[in-house]
Structure 1
Amino acid sequence: MTRIIAGVARGRRLVAPKGEATRPTTDRAREAIFSSWSSRFGIEGTTVLDLFAGSGALGLEAASRGADEVVLVESSAAAARAIRTNIGTVGHPRVLLAEMKASTYLAGAPEDHFDRVIADPPYELAGEAVTEMLEALRPALKDGAVVTVERHSADDETVWPEGYGILEQKLKRRIQGLARFDTAIYRRGEDE
């Protein structure tokens, strides 16, 4: 069973979508992501976007660790039901659920809004589609936003669009089991 690892909601158990083919990020992998974010960039006071949220565990972990606002984007009705339950379990007043496709959310997302983004798209999603998602995400990012994408460890490298500065190798690729986490910092160009 998935649980919140640290922060004000530490130890609270989260439900997973029933009958769904979701792939929850392990506690160990979540700890690696958040240890990296916390030590290098901080989480407290940030605005976090969790795309392809599944149970919402990643975004809710950020809320527990002090994020000011978290938006969970999930299109599956069963997963959204689990997220609603988990939001109640964590009890953070500024966790919002957007029950829609990531592409739909990004098309209308607030500009210059997010400090941290975690995207956990289905492993079947082609690399080109992930790059298109990262391109669509750009207007919603604050300058200096940290973006982490979970992919299958056997997949090709994430192709980051212009504006994303890939971090040094040790942070860029953290492999936990079958998952690989690629991280970049977004820098707004002069023409944006």
Structure 2
Amino acid sequence: MRIISGKYKGRRITPPKGLPVRPTTDMSKEALFNVLNNHFNFEGLKVLDLFSGTGNISYEFASRGSSPITSVDGDFGCVKFIKQTAAQFDFNIAAVKSDIFKFLEKNNATYDIIFADPPYDFDQATFEKIVLMIIEKNSLNEDGMMIIEHSKYTKLDHMMHFSFKKSYGGSIFSFFEPNITEEILDGDGEEE
């Protein structure tokens, strides 16, 4: 995996084998950040990366100047690797080992961007629970954005504050914004 932009553009990061992850592909990651580029100046953004795995998305935000970043994953190996990589690159990333739902329950901080990449085999209700918990806890800043990565079999465009979605290969990114209401949508939820 490589960092595609920012201070550490082109740097390769090699996670240890055997981590229980499905990293976001470089193509999808590049497309995601092209979308975010139209909405944000990354410098100083406060970011929460849920189900962070190898930290792929966190490093991309950090390389572009976002700080502080909180990366949460339930796997000890993933969290250890993120801590090591953050120290190596001097990224302001706090890696937290926690069950995501317990973390969201206790968390009182707010963020500019929340990115979640749950296992694709979670059922529909579990994906919806993630969205609802973040909305109900007001974890997003007013002009912030939440992005959920999921497969085409999961549908989130009926959820409150859904803004638009983008699909890349087998991955879909659903975007949510606190200031979006259902009336603004154009019907199919695909961004023009």
Normalising by the smaller structure, the TM-score range is: 0.7 to 0.9
Q: Partner letter of residue 82 of structure 2? A: I
TM-score under structure 1 length normalisation: 0.85
8 Å CA contact 1:15–1:82 kept in 2: the answer is no
2:63 is aligned to: 64
Counterparts of 1:159 and 1:173, CA distance in 2: 8
- Give the alignment's TM-score, normalised by structure 2: 0.85
User: Given that residues 12 and 90 in structure 1 are in contact (C-alpha distance below 8 angstroms), is that contact kept between their aligned partners in structure 2?
Assistant: no
4+ aligned runs moved over 4 Å, structure 1: none
Residue 45 (structure 1) shift? 1.9
Alignment: residue pair count? 179
1:86 corresponds in structure 2 to 85
For structure 2, the 5+ residue unaligned runs are: 182-192
Asked whether the 8 Å contact 2:48–2:71 carries over to 1, the reply is yes
What does residue 115 of structure 1 align with?
Answer: 112
Q: How far apart in 2 are the matches of 1:88 and 1:12?
A: 15
Write the distance in 1 (CA, Å) between the matches of 2:169 and 2:15. Answer: 20
Structure-1 residue corresponding to 2:171: 179
Q: How far apart, CA to CA, are the structure 2 residues paired with 1:15 and 1:80?
A: 14
Amino acid at match of 1:95: I
CA RMSD of aligned residues (A): 1.9
- Structure 1: segments with no counterpart, 5+ residues: none
Tell me the distance in 2 between the aligned counterparts of 1:174 and 1:161.
16
Report SS of the residue matched to 2:141: strand
**1:27 aligned partner, one-letter code:** D
Cα distance change, pair 180–161 in 1 and its aligned pair in 2 (3 A): closer
Percentage of pairs with the same residue: 26
Distance 2:89 2:172 in 1: 27
Are the structure 2 counterparts of residues 118 and 97 from structure 1 closer, same or farther at C-alpha, using a change threshold of 3 Å?
Answer: same
